[in-house]
Amino acid sequence: MKVLFFAQLRERLNCDSAELDIELPTLVTDVREALIAQFPDHADLLKDGKALVAINQELINNEKATITAADEVAFFPPVTGG
C-alpha cells in the first residue's frame, strides 16, 4: 500500500510517499508500526501523537481505524495553518 507524506515528515523521510508491504485490510496502528520499521531513524516523527493520519482526506483520531486497498492514506505533522 502507498502512504503519502507532507511537510517536515516528507522532508525528513526524503520522499513524498512510501510503498509498504502490508496485508490489507489493516489498522492505522499497523501501518504506523510498518512505517517506523521502514524508517527507524525517524520514529520520533512517526509515532502516535507526532504524526497525524488522514484516510481518504479525513483526519482520523483512531489507531484502530481500518484501512482498505481503496483508501488514500497520508501521514503528516500536526498542522500549523491559519
Q: Which residues bind another protein (CB under 8 A)?
A: 4, 6-8, 11, 54, 57-59, 72, 74, 76-82
* 4 or 24: CB nearest another protein: 4
Query: Which residues does 1 contact at the CB level (< 8 Å), separation at least 6?
Result: 19, 20, 22, 24, 26, 31, 67, 69, 73
In the structure grid, which three cell numbers stand for residue 8, read together? Answer: 517536515
Separation of alpha carbons 39 and 81, rounded Å: 27
Rounded to the nearest whole angstrom, what is the least distance from the CB of residue 78 to another protein in the complex?
3
Rounded to the nearest whole angstrom, what is the least distance from the CB of residue 18 to another protein in the complex?
16
Rounded to the nearest whole angstrom, what is the least distance from the CB of residue 34 to another protein in the complex?
21
* 57 or 69: CB nearest another protein: 57
* 39 or 76: CB nearest another protein: 76
**Where on the phi/psi map is residue 7: left (φ > 0), alpha (ψ -120 to 50), or beta?**
left
